[in-house]
A and B are shown apart, each in its own frame.
Chain A
């Protein structure tokens, strides 16, 4: 494990903070901040029209970012990459557009109980609009999802399956390739939430054979406000637009319109070029660090933290008893202490953690919990960050008046 902190993350370098809320958003490296700023300093113009050199430069920067994203998730074609604001918007796009096309009364959408609200509420709404039904695919207490249970839920009415590749509560990853194959056998489309997985493991959409994959730039070192929807071209071609307006049309008349080709059909209005350029640089940054180093650092830190947490009485880690099944996400409860008090005490020691239901209320209810505290690691965290977390954690019950 590295002793030295990975520098050039201005927030981490300049502020006194042990930042352990990486599943919520990561800090941004200097190169990403500079790349986004330089776009606005040097190339800013409204892209896509291309009637002058500056606008062509902006368009080129934006389309280069799209190609980088396509390469990053191994999409066959950059037209399959739609830029959105974030994973939430990507999932809303699919639920609204594909949902309106594919769902009829009596149809079923399978959603796992593990999902973040962003991969549940859009389906709840799509189901209401179509008179369809949301079918819950429940997990075991340790977060595992059984393929046998899944198969038993599939039937000829199943049109859509919505599943995360990595739980933001358990940190557990799921074999979406197997689940997608089973969904396809039943004739359903598979929508994968990659918000937590894409930043922490190589993802190959062709190998997994998912129909849609949603993720956010801001959880992978890029600016906030840029997200991605990958979709298979054949599906995206058939789907109606999500938002209507500028930049997404071929021809507009008083009575109607013909819409632009992919991917522009789904990118109404002026797009977020600065964010896309930042995401492009974030991907380049991740390549420079390398998956091997990212994964090793995150696994080593997770094991180190997990083993120390297990030695503290009254701490209960949610999910697997194997730290390597946590992917940097350690969600826990402390007997007798409310998670918001826990987070406030961590804050007093400059340790940033998340407390609450982590946008997964149905999951917490399923587990019989109201809320939990979550520490989530990124490769740039250090042993010192974990030590600060553990030292504070061990003191919390004492500070709250327990023996």
Chain B
């Protein structure tokens, strides 16, 4: 593991999250649980005319799970459902070490979690928010 894995971007999203709160008028809400770390979040999205207009999460967990969910919401709020799912697909492939540099750039800050691909015990933490969103939007 890189000594700089817990970098400023990651720790800042964990300690000072932007989106860790409830969403008024959310029309999608789903709990995601990762029993190995004990990460447990409830993700809520407000989707209007196919566009994610607002989103938030509540719950507890390790820094990777919390920061990843926060960075995901930074990325997908304001985007269409389809676009959010496309970005989620890129993120999940990044964790399997299967993306190009250009694709990684599309993930913006969430790209800092790339090194999780070399930390098998933490993969579930990193993907928790993204999997929860995919499951929710696929319904």
Contacts and interface: CB of A to CB of B under 8 A. Distances in A.
B138 interface: no
A338 B15 contact: no
B38 A400 contact: no
Size bracket, chain A contacts: 10 to 19
Interface string A57-91: 00000000000000000000000000000000000
Contacts of A347: 1
A177 B14 CA distance: 48
Interface residues of B, number: 23
Interface string A331-351: 000001111110011011000
A356 B36 contact: yes
Contacts of B125: 340
Given A337-B63, A341-B63, A348-B1, A401 B8 contact: yes
A170 to B, nearest CB: 20
Given A337-B63, A344-B122, A402 B3 contact: no
Contacts of B1: 344, 347-348
A338 B11 contact: no
Contacts of A341: 6, 62-64
Interface string A382-403: 0000000000000000011110
Contacts of B6: 341, 344-345, 399-400
Contacts of B37: 338, 340, 356, 371
A337 B6 CA distance: 12
Given A347-B1, A348-B3, A401-B11, A370 B38 contact: yes
Nearest to A364: B38
Nearest to B62: A338
A401 B15 contact: yes
B60 interface: yes
A403 B109 CA distance: 23
Contacts of B48: none
A366 B76 CA distance: 39
B99 interface: no
Interface in A301-338: 336-338
B12 interface: yes
A238 B11 CA distance: 60
Given A337-B63, A340-B125, A348-B1, A400 B36 contact: no
The 4 A-B pairs of least Cβ separation, nearest first, read: A401-B11, A338-B62, A401-B15, A340-B62
